[in-house]
Structure 1
Amino acid sequence: MSTLDDNQTTGRAPVTARVSAALTELIAQADALLSQHPEALLARADRADQLAMICARRAGWWRLLLTSAHRQTVPDLYRRAVIAAGFEQHDQARFWRDTAADWRAQATRQPTSDAAGAMSNHHDLGIAS
């Protein structure tokens, strides 16, 4: 049986090495974005969209690792951890997409979504409850 790092047939870097390098780069990109604190609402939305894309890419790399794990000899605990990590990144991507939509809604003086706290800016918009 082969392992995740068996690359004798393809000549490519092992899957784990490629996934690790990609995740490391995406973490650095996310850290750089998270260190920014834009004041303009649309700039905040753009930042959130970029963070959503990074999280979606992370989820994709975890899926690749899982796909590879299904073809290899990998302990079930590791497989479960990879699944959990992928779902977490999927959820984070959704959070950042919702956040971006909420910043755009506030910029255009529209009600924000339920994800941002439902009626959070209805008073500012003059919408009666």
Structure 2
Amino acid sequence: MTSLFTQEIRLSKRHEKIVSQRLMLLQQMESKLGNQNTEKPSQQQAETAFKRNLSLLKDIEAAEKSLQSKMQSHLPPEVVSLETCYWASVEEYIPKWEQFLLGQAPYPISVENQKEAENTVLNGTR
């Protein structure tokens, strides 16, 4: 009888251990399921936001192209000529300014031109 009683106690302890492990596993599963459920909406929201941003970016680019083409077509020839000359001048001076800004060359405009430019700005005349 004692051996049956001992065996019953051993089996009861083992049963408690199994039940506690089961409870722990169930809690872990619920936790993981909860995490997955919270991750899915946030991931879906991120994907939706990404698609929306791409759509907005395409719309902005299309609007920009449309505005540029409208501006180009309505500009007087004198303005187009001035714009072309301006960009040619900028491209001409880029290497000089680049070297100056990198500290590899002196100031790209001579001192006389610099003082003349300062006087023009200060006096508002040329």
TM range (shorter): under 0.3
Structure with higher Rg: it is 2
**TM-score normalised by L of structure 1:** 0.27
Of structures 1 and 2, the one scoring higher in RCO (CA 8 A, sep 6+) is: 1
User: Which is richer in helix?
Assistant: 2
**TM-score normalised by L of structure 2:** 0.28
